[in-house]
Structure 1
Amino acid sequence: MKRLTFLLFTGLMGFSAQAQTVHSPGNKLTLSFQLSPAGEPTYQLRLGGRAVLKPSRLGMLLQGLPALDQGLAVARVDSSQHDDTWTPVWGEVQQIRNRYKELAVTLQQATGNNRQLVVRFRLYDDGLGFRYEFPQQPNLQYFTVQEEKTEFNLPANHKAFWIPGDYDSNEYTYSTTRLSEVNSASIEPIQLKSDPKRIQTPLMLKSDDGLYVNIHEAALVNYPAMMLDVDTQRFGLRSHLVPSATGAAAYLQAPEHTPWRTIIVSNKAPEVLASKLILNLNEPTKFPTTDWIRPQKFVGVWWEMHVNKASWNYADTSNIKLSGTDWSKLKPNGHHGANTANVKRYIAFAAKHGLQSVLVEGWNVGWEDWANNWKEEVFDFVTPYPDFNVQELQQYAASKGVKLMMHHETSSSVTNYERRQEAAYRFMKQYGYDAVKTGYVGRIIPRGEHHDGQWMVNHYNRTAQKTGENQLMVDMHESVRPTGLHRTYPNWLASEAARGNEFNAWSSGNPPEHETILPFTRLMGGPMDYTPGIFQIKLESWNPQRNQGKQVHTTLAKQLALYVTLYSPVQMAADLPEAYEQRPDAFQFIKDVAVDWDDTRILAAEPGDYLTTARKAKGTEEWYVGSITDENARTQTITLDFLTPGTTYEATIYADGKGASWDKNPQAYQIRRQKVNSKTTLKLQLAPGGGAAISLKPVRK
């Protein structure tokens, strides 16, 4: 049922009651808006009697025009309230309630030829969203945003979970410090060295008295991503927009609006994770049909390259001239992973175990000539290597009931990719591919643009639109971090946009706390393709010489739990088939666990420490539980009161084995089964860096 009520209050220029106060629908939060004596717009937010944000300034700095940040008067105030329920195409819950009160303040600046700016607030019981709007007006048509003057002034020196404000990468481990201690000067940059006090969103904060605050953005369209500059003395945050190649932030034409700036707040950590505020601030999908969009699990020719068992490239480049190379005349290097026989092996494995798709990386010519060259023409996305038979693999996959997943590594030559997208998508349709993983490794072309700037944001959104128009699903890697646009583009199944599991294969790895922080940071905006499911934790067995000392920084049981705690509608069984064949009992959980859900319950959570999540599989009575910890061993006690009363379930518990730990004994696990019901309490013993995964299936009478 939908219910919509509008209330409207308007005023004239010089509106006397400039202070406006709005209470959230359930009276949990209070928003106050006011102009300072200098005509500066300010807002503040409270949860009950507690300050969430102190008075914080708003405003826009425009290039070549007077700034819209002071000397403003209130021309009009509109308020409304909204309450409806909508059904996502896929997701963590079956239905989502969208209930808020809205305040829209139209500001006018006499010294700027009466230019107008609207600040629109939507206040929910779990947080606030606001954005700037530029109405159509004679004195502001084409304009350039230099910067915003958006502030988030905290009342105290909160604990913060943050990564550096790199314009081109978010693949960092998280630092946990006080706001006063934020400083990335000693952190080695992945792409671009940032201002040492500049950090990325989503930013997770916790006060000393137990208030949890998350700051991010929603519906990032035609605009650069927002970073945050930290005032380490006054504990304030100020927006910083990723610049374009010219140094400006955004080129706009009225009417236009910015993304929503979001603040999610609660005195309970699980409620932050349960919030749907960011999704609610995005537009519904414009696709006429969505039945072709299918959440799925997949395997792939991928991890074997990361562990140095195979290569992406086909030939040794030491004695060849790459320009104009006739690939049919070259001999393989002997360890090219994307060859027909090897891909068939993965297809057969997927078919045997009920996995829907097989990703193949390194199938197309060009891998010998792209890394770090900042080269315009590398890949054409339609020419396979000589040992990759597209038609034969199409026929074999179809005979097994398995789909092949395309891979488009752009080498960050995005102009090249955009020129070739239509041909690439026709090629996919011709050979039966209905999903593509895109990649953006390296420095962006056009040169000078950034991964998180307006130009690239528009590219990601155009790619989601174009793939959707072709009824193709997309999973983007090295993209800007998500902002809930999977509601608008439900074919945009996931992104990477953070430090994934692969970093365990060729770097210092991800510390055990990493996966307990990600849900409170990166995943607040949307699903992540984290690539869980690594069973061969110690990587030396794949290549002793090149993998010496390398390992995944979790236990095997925690890898299973990640399928539940790190939400995504597209989940990879990331290890090699032989790793799963050695442990079929543990692999059973990956085969069973769902990727689309009717209900989600956050049973216990603390950022940086632990997380326990329960989910109900779409269209069934089956539940799955994942519980993970950081480097500390923990006991997690959970009550199964979310189960249907009066129904008996069989619980299969995949737990850390005796003496398990992420560093010394990561592959020790145990599996036990017991009958449970809604009154049962389970005690889970989590090893250091460990976890537990549980499947709960009704017992048939």
Structure 2
Amino acid sequence: MNSRYKLFLGIICLIYSSRVVAQKKHFSLFSPDAKTEVKITAGQTLSYSVTHNQKQVLLPSKLAILLSDGKIIGEDNTVVKTSRRNVNQNVQPLYGMASNYRDAYNEIIIKFKENYDIVFRVFDNGVAYRFRTSLPGRIKVKEEQINYQLTADADAWIQTTNSFQFSYEEQFFKKKISSLIGKPIASLPFVTESNGIKVAITESDLLDYPGYYLTYAGNNTLKGISPKFILKDTIGGQDNFNKLSLLDADYIAETEGIRDFPWRLMILEENDKDLLYNNLVYLLASENKIEDTSWIKPGKVSWDWWNANNLTGVDFKSGFNTATYKYFIDFAAENKLEYIMMDEGWSDQFDLLKVNDGSVVTSGTTALSGTLDMPYLFNYAKQKGVGIILWCVWHTLDRQMIEALDQFQKWGVKGVKVDFMNRDDQTVVCFYERLAKETAKRKMIIDFHAAYKPTGLERTYPNILNFEAVQGLEWNKFSEVDILTQATILPFTRMLAGPMDYTPGGLYNSNLIDYRKSFFRPMTLGTRCNQLAMFTMYYAPFEMLADAPTAYQKEPEILAYLAAMPNTWDDTIPLEGKIGDHAVIARRKGSTWHIAGLNNWTGKNVKIKFDFLDAGDYQATIFSDGINANRIGSDYKKTTQKIDKASSLEIQMANGGGFAIKLEKIK
């Protein structure tokens, strides 16, 4: 090859290279407080990076959506237009952790010639992006490329699963992100650290699309992975309550070509305690789609299942019978509880139109004594001002949805507890929304159990009051795993996603040495005050009182405190905490404050400053661990004293302990 030809080729390559470089465009977007910056690069690929307080948090990370027809959204990008806006507003949720959520962010929308956009929003405490497409007809999504390249192989609080058919009921463990190489995969929210900044990864506005999990892709990079669309499934799993995949497609979703995809969210905080209160998942979700919300009523529930319908000191045999549930209704009415639950056993699990006739088998034992007179119970509950919630297996309700809900409406059912989905593929995600719509038509609320993590659906359909998605108190019935250790991890991890039906309130409290599992006489790990603290710490608009009515009636101080406990709040302030160690939070309803502390198995003292209070005196009612609480978990002491904003208080928490304080303004 002669020198003149080499020179010609060199010039051609230089011209081509300069064109490729010229096609690449860079955009920058700051948070309202200017502490967080997102840099976006659009060219042959699409990527973004994040800095917070001038520290690199996320290295350039590629984004794309691969369609089954070979089209790749996010590659060979040609920018045709950009638009920006600044938003600073207050959102008033129908109910929530505060009466107002500050919704302040800067946004950029980058529009591409290839009929899609990328939207970024930067908040003071987080970064979110989503794809928006304008493609003809329906599309099949083969894969969405979600990548987070962090600055190091950092520690993370990881909840793992070996299968997408999973109910988010595993424990969080502290591990390196590289531990996710291969299997298992990690569910969301996923909390880690990058360059000293706390990073929590999750998603919002999940509609008509599967959820996603994280795995390790090397080079300090977390990669998103979603369950495939299920072409064929079958009834199976625990007591045939699940539906298991028999045949997966080679794509994750089939959906409309004109749509917004879910938000991919990174929450950023400098201190552990600030993770205790965050509402970005809610703020990013689609707005309320229910016109009349006047009938939606958060509240507390007298629950039958955890205590196995064990009533003492009554003159009838307790079980799935009319007399037992009449007693539950009376208990709820006397203590101004809004609801009672009729959980597993009230019906044939696979035919919701067949009421228990006394021969139904539930959880391995025949239902006890008698039958249920449903019209009588619903009429009696209505007279007493108490709502009844019915439990359902999800695939039974899915199959019988219209006829079952119509029957429930005739009875006067106020809501449904739907259980054992254990999946978040597209089919199940769509089931959530379909059920939300149908129950709203009939003015019924929903509590999802064996559910995937919340993604803001409670904003879009506020008749959805709660989600389980946690290894909650029920595990004390059938497992010897140490769920108390999780108690001080969950407020910083799972609670970031939204409301959580942990179902606290057990009164048979035990230390690690004495603890034993018992399905029919369950005990709790940790102290009495640890249980009380959960009612404030864990946000739950639909909150169970797990123990039996007769157990609470023997503890009038405890009953009075719990019966008056709010479920929704006007203000929330994180006070202190360290993931896996302890957490302290304050929440206000009207002029009354509730403060709660949760501890791990190492006893410690915490000092509370009350400088967040308004001027004036408050009467403090304090439930704290008794001097012998390390030996006998039910040992507690109740004290009262005056508090004002200049006061401080030191409280000792036992091993597995906690405290609960109620502050009432003195007028």
Deviation at 1:472, TM superposition (A): 1.1
Contact 2:510 2:632 in 1 (8 A): no
Q: Hey, what's the Cα distance between the residues in 1 that align with 2:196 and 2:49?
A: 19
Specify whether residues 468 and 510 from structure 1 end up closer, same or farther in structure 2 by C-alpha distance, changes over 3 A only: farther
Q: Hey, what's the Cα distance between the residues in 1 that align with 2:341 and 2:450?
A: 17
Q: Hey, what's the Cα distance between the residues in 1 that align with 2:511 and 2:156?
A: 33
User: Which structure 1 residue ranges, 5 or more long, are not aligned?
Assistant: 1-12, 109-114, 184-194, 311-333, 368-377, 442-449
Residue number among 312, 315, 320 corresponding to 1:338 in the alignment: 320
Residue number among 339, 342, 351 corresponding to 1:379 in the alignment: 351
Q: Hey, what's the Cα distance between the residues in 2 that align with 1:533 and 1:31?
A: 44
Specify whether residues 550 and 616 from structure 1 end up closer, same or farther in structure 2 by C-alpha distance, changes over 3 A only: closer
Match of 1:300 in 2: 303
C-alpha distance after superposition, 1:445-494 (max 9, x if no partner)? xxxxx711001000011111221122111111112211112111111000
The equivalences for 1:178-577 within 5 A come to 178-182=176-180, 195-207=182-194, 210-231=196-217, 233-245=218-230, 246-305=249-308, 337-367=319-349, 378-381=350-353, 383-385=355-357, 387-410=371-394, 414=395, 416-440=396-420, 451-538=423-510, 551-577=523-549
Match of 1:163 in 2: 159
Please state if 1:82 is matched with 2:87: yes
Contact 1:554 1:689 in 2 (8 A): yes
User: Which structure 2 residue ranges, 5 or more long, are not aligned?
Assistant: 1-19, 231-248, 359-370
Please state if 1:639 is matched with 2:644: no
Please state if 1:141 is matched with 2:137: yes
Contact 2:205 2:262 in 1 (8 A): yes
C-alpha distance after superposition, 1:298-336 (max 9, x if no partner)? 11221133xx959xxxxxxxxxxxxxxxxxxxxxxx988
The CA RMSD measured in Å over matched residues stands at: 2.6
Match of 1:150 in 2: 146
Contact 2:177 2:222 in 1 (8 A): no
**Residue identity opposite 1:356 in structure 2:** E
Deviation at 1:584, TM superposition (A): 1.7
Contact 1:353 1:591 in 2 (8 A): yes
C-alpha distance after superposition, 1:212-264 (max 9, x if no partner)? 11000001001000111123x42211111111222420102211221000001
C-alpha distance after superposition, 1:269-322 (max 9, x if no partner)? 2333322221111122121121111110111221133xx959xxxxxxxxxxxx
Match of 1:177 in 2: 175
Q: Hey, what's the Cα distance between the residues in 2 that align with 1:544 and 1:267?
A: 39
C-alpha distance after superposition, 1:340-383 (max 9, x if no partner)? 1111121122122221211012354325xxxxxxxxxx223453
Which one has the bigger strand percentage? 2
Please state if 1:65 is matched with 2:70: yes
Percent identity reads 27
Match of 1:112 in 2: none
Q: Hey, what's the Cα distance between the residues in 1 that align with 2:356 and 2:532?
A: 34
Q: Hey, what's the Cα distance between the residues in 2 that align with 1:278 and 1:550?
A: 34
Contact 1:279 1:484 in 2 (8 A): yes
User: Could you state the TM-score of these two structures normalised by the residue count of structure 2?
Assistant: 0.87
Residue number among 650, 665, 681 corresponding to 2:648 in the alignment: 681
Specify whether residues 22 and 539 from structure 1 end up closer, same or farther in structure 2 by C-alpha distance, changes over 3 A only: closer
Specify whether residues 211 and 93 from structure 1 end up closer, same or farther in structure 2 by C-alpha distance, changes over 3 A only: same
Q: Hey, what's the Cα distance between the residues in 2 that align with 1:523 and 1:168?
A: 21
Moved over 4 A (4+): 13-17, 543-550
Contact 2:477 2:520 in 1 (8 A): no
Match of 1:10 in 2: none
User: Could you state the TM-score of these two structures normalised by the residue count of structure 1?
Assistant: 0.83
C-alpha distance after superposition, 1:595-645 (max 9, x if no partner)? 12111111112221111111111xx21111111011211211111122221
Deviation at 1:544, TM superposition (A): 9.5
Q: Hey, what's the Cα distance between the residues in 1 that align with 2:520 and 2:139?
A: 55
Contact 2:527 2:625 in 1 (8 A): yes
Report the number of matched residues: 611
The equivalences for 1:563-602 within 5 A come to 563-602=535-574
Q: Hey, what's the Cα distance between the residues in 2 that align with 1:469 and 1:14?
A: 55
The equivalences for 1:11-160 within 5 A come to 18-35=25-42, 39-108=44-113, 115-136=114-135, 140-160=136-156
**Residue identity opposite 1:512 in structure 2:** L
Q: Hey, what's the Cα distance between the residues in 2 that align with 1:257 and 1:402?
A: 40
Match of 2:13 in 1: none
Contact 2:58 2:150 in 1 (8 A): yes
Q: Hey, what's the Cα distance between the residues in 1 that align with 2:603 and 2:180?
A: 28
Deviation at 1:197, TM superposition (A): 4.3
Deviation at 1:420, TM superposition (A): 1.8
Contact 1:82 1:98 in 2 (8 A): yes
Helix, strand or coil at the partner of 1:303: coil
Contact 2:253 2:426 in 1 (8 A): yes
Deviation at 1:149, TM superposition (A): 1.3
Deviation at 1:76, TM superposition (A): 2.6
Deviation at 1:690, TM superposition (A): 0.8
**Residue identity opposite 1:299 in structure 2:** S
Match of 1:323 in 2: none
